[in-house]
Amino acid sequence: MLLRPYQEASKTVIQIKRADDTISPGQELLAILCDFNEWLGITDTQACICESTDETTLYIFYRDVAFDIADFWDLFALRMAKINQIWGLCVFGTTDRQDSIRLFADLVGSSLELGQQTISGNRSEVVWTPCFQVLCNDKETAEGLMELLETLNWSLGVAAMRWEKTNFVKQQDLVLLPQSRTYFCYAGLQNYLDSKDLLESLSFNQKIDLWKSFLRDGIETTEFEWLQHSIGQDCLNNRMEWELSLHESMKQLGFHMTNQNHQFELYDQTGERCYFGANSQRPAEWAFIKILFPIND
């Protein structure tokens, strides 16, 4: 889908030897975006993910970023062209002269075609404020891709998604833990990640949801086993975030504590007292107590 009436600014045709490839477009796109971030040294700046009203188009914006087009083609041209055979993929941006530019790559027979289009028809060497446009085949695919990118921890390349999106994750061969009792469906490129990394991939709001699943529904998931292990090994990263997310989940559910004569008591939203112990064999209960009251053994 073109944003403007572009003119051809340049076109390059490269003869290649095509190989059979079983990589899904979802895998390839995620790899491109993670490698793109690494290539440009993007660590703190997160991409802005937007969805079009047509419900099948996604935009991935990078603010205050620029790259050399020739170098970009060397790294990403063939991979973009492979995706473009299934999903539509191109890069929009701005030139040094504030001209609108579009980059695209296509596989045509045994050739790789690299194209550059601008409004003026003038060729550019650089793209500023790049935006990847992804045209998905259907609404369900776009929704799955949107959630993948929105929940993605870019530094780890892991997304903690809802299980409702399992079909998308499986179709794109992104499942990290195919047989698990986790609260989230973890998606990414790596075959193995340490449980610390998976915990690290959770956002603050996801931690709140995890705590609420235990406090409200009594659900014990694998994440609490990971949490118990990290606390027990004194290697839990961002402990304060876990503590604040626990307090926020209690606040949202209407739980409250009292402290009289150094005696802490916990009550649920109905006013009924809750009994949890630090010696519990249940990982969620144990982690709850250790986060709420960091008692030294």
> What does the pLDDT average to over 192-197?
81
Specify the length of the chain in residues: 297
User: What distance in Å separates the CA atoms of residue 237 and residue 163, rounded to the nearest whole number?
Assistant: 25
- For residue 192, the model assigns a pLDDT of 65
Residues 241-262 pLDDT 10s: 999 999 999 999 999 888 777 7
User: What distance in Å separates the CA atoms of residue 230 and residue 239, rounded to the nearest whole number?
Assistant: 10
Longest dimension (CA), the chain: 80
Closest CA to 78 of 39, 104, 116: 104
Q: Which residue(s) pair with 263 in the sheet? A: 260
Residue 47 banded pLDDT, cuts 50, 70, 90: confident
Q: In what order do the strands lie in the sheet with 256-260?
A: 256-260, 263-267, 273-274
Assess contact for 23 and 133: CB atoms under 8 A: no
For 93, residues 6+ apart whose C-beta sits below 8 A from its C-beta are: 100, 101, 103, 127, 128, 129, 130, 131
Residue 273 banded pLDDT, cuts 50, 70, 90: confident
User: What distance in Å separates the CA atoms of residue 158 and residue 140, rounded to the nearest whole number?
Assistant: 20
Closest CA to 16 of 106, 83, 90: 106
- Angle subtended by helix axes 283-292 and 239-253, to nearest 10: 100
Enter the tokens of residue 52: 């079009």
pLDDT at residue 278 greater than cutoff 80: no
More confident residue, 269 or 70: 70
- For residue 19, the model assigns a pLDDT of 64
User: Over the chain, what HEC string results?
Assistant: CCCCCCEEEEEEEEECCCCCCCCCHHHHHHHHHHHHHHHHCCCCCCCEEEECCCCCEEEEECCCCEEEHHHHHHHHHHHHHHHHCCCEEEEEEECCCCCEEEEEEEEECCEEEEEEEECCCCCCCEEEEEEEEEECCCHHHHHHHHHHHHHEECCCCEEEECHHHHHHHHHCCCECCCCCCCCCEEEECCCCCCHHHHHHCCCHHHHHHHHHHHHHHCCCCHHHHHHHHHHHCCCCCCHHHHHHHHHHHHHHHCCEEEEECCEEEEECCCCCEECCCCCCCCHHHHHHHHHHCCCCC
For 18, residues 6+ apart whose C-beta sits below 8 A from its C-beta are: 107, 110
> What does the pLDDT average to over 251-280?
81
Residues 129-142 pLDDT 10s: 999 999 999 999 99
Tell me the one-letter amino acid at 74.
D
> What does the pLDDT average to over 206-214?
97
User: What is the phi/psi pair of residue 51, to 5°?
Assistant: -115, 135
